[in-house]
Amino acid sequence: MAPRKRLTPIHFFSHGSPMMLIETTESSEYWRRCGEEALASNIKGIIIMSAHWTNHTPNTISIATNPDPKLLPIPFVPPTTLTESPLTPDLPTATRCAHLLRTAGIAIHQDSTYNWIHDTYQILLKMFPPLLKGGDSGASCPPVTVLSTNAHFDPYFHLRIGITLRPLRHENYLLIGTGGAVHNLYRNRWGPMLRYQDTLAMETPPEPWALEFRTAVEDALTKTSGPRLRRAVTRLMKHPLYREAHATDEHFMPAVFVAGAAGDWEDEDAQAVMGAETWELTNMCNSQFTVGC
């Protein structure tokens, strides 16, 4: 039997707060290593689903088609750090993704006004450090296609998006979902942020509910594969602590997208790892996962 062709891996990255852009953490170092591996593999392009960008029309997502998007400003990051966008939008791949998704019955809005949002660009800038102002010269980020989530937050709809775009992994595209393993702003401890302007300054350990759901996410992504991965990730939304971990659903939908793109029968027995983890604000868990590594 011929050996199975290795597909590009797929990442579910918890982007965390804007502080993750200006601090060096275990997570940012993992993003950097993933970027190095992507460049070494001559990745053709990056397709990334954004938690912070939603389309409110049923059965519809948006795809970025702005030829010259800017970096939207974010708190805690000095304006001089982000003077212009070093990222390149991939308009041909955006058009191709739109065609694939429409063929699968998913409506598409091609948004020519999109500008880079921090949940997307802070990961990409950390994956490819030469892009940061003052960074060493070097290879730049591959061209990027950005997908929105849908504000109805149907997990099976987002699963279909990943399933539909999965074949692009055969063509050396890197798929990423940027969201959060545990991301409930209402349950975070904001005192250290208000006193020290530091989300990483944690005066108390994470609460039990956050630790338990974080473990459930790790188990779903690293201890299942193939179609079982899709079932395990979507089933997390029925976990008794899901609503504690995600008061709103937008940061979990990219994980479902990843499960769709990494949960085919061909992916059975594919290895997955939690490559890094960073806690912020006591109860925000930024776990970093790679499936098909």
Q: Each residue's pLDDT tens digit in the chain (293 positions)?
A: 344 567 999 999 999 999 999 899 999 999 999 999 999 999 999 999 999 999 999 999 999 999 999 999 887 777 666 656 689 999 999 999 999 999 999 999 999 999 999 999 999 999 998 766 555 545 589 999 999 999 999 999 999 999 999 999 999 999 999 999 999 999 999 998 889 889 998 989 999 999 999 999 999 999 999 999 999 999 999 999 999 999 999 999 999 999 999 999 999 999 999 999 999 999 999 999 999 98
Count of alpha carbons within 13 angstroms of residue 188, beta-carbon side: 23
The Cα 111–Cα 66 span in angstroms is: 7
Report the pLDDT value the prediction gives residue 17, as an integer from 0 to 100: 95
Q: CB under 8 Å to 262, separation ≥6 — which residues?
A: 10, 162, 166, 229, 270, 272, 291, 292
Q: What tokens appear for 186 in the block? A: 């209402």
Cross-strand bridge partners of residue 233: none
Do the strands 45-55 and 284-291 form a parallel or antiparallel pair, or are they unpaired?
unpaired
Q: Supply the pLDDT for residue 15.
A: 98
| pLDDT value at residue 18 | 92
Residues 43 and 174: beta-carbon distance below 8 Å:
yes
Residue 88 burial class via C-beta count within 10 angstroms: exposed 0-12, middle 13-18, buried 19 and up:
middle
pLDDT of residue 74: 85
Per DSSP bridges, beta strands 173-179 and 10-14 are parallel
Cα gap 26→13, rounded to integer Å = 12
The reported pLDDT for the residue numbered 119 is 97
Q: Please, which residues have CB within 8 angstroms of residue 30's CB and are 6 or more apart in sequence?
A: 275, 276, 288
Q: Which residues contact 292 (CB under 8 A, 6 or more apart)?
A: 6, 7, 8, 9, 10, 169, 262, 267, 270, 271, 272
pTM over 0.85: yes
Chain CA centroid to CA 81, Å: 22
Question: If you count them, how many residues does the chain have?
Answer: 293
Q: Using CA atoms, how far apart are residues 280 and 206, in angstroms rounded to an integer?
A: 9
Q: Which domains does the chain have, with CATH numbers?
A: 10-291 (3.40.830.10)
Whose CA is closest to 154, among 263, 241, 57? 57
Q: Rounded distance, CA 46 to CA 69, Å?
A: 16
pLDDT score at 77: 77
10-14 β-sheet, strand order: 107-111, 60-64, 144-150, 45-55, 173-179, 10-14, 284-291, 272-280
Q: In three state form, how does the secondary structure of 112-149 look?
A: CCCCECHHHHHHHHHHCHHHCCCCCCCCCCCCEEEEEE
- Cα 13 from Cα 157, distance rounded (Å): 20
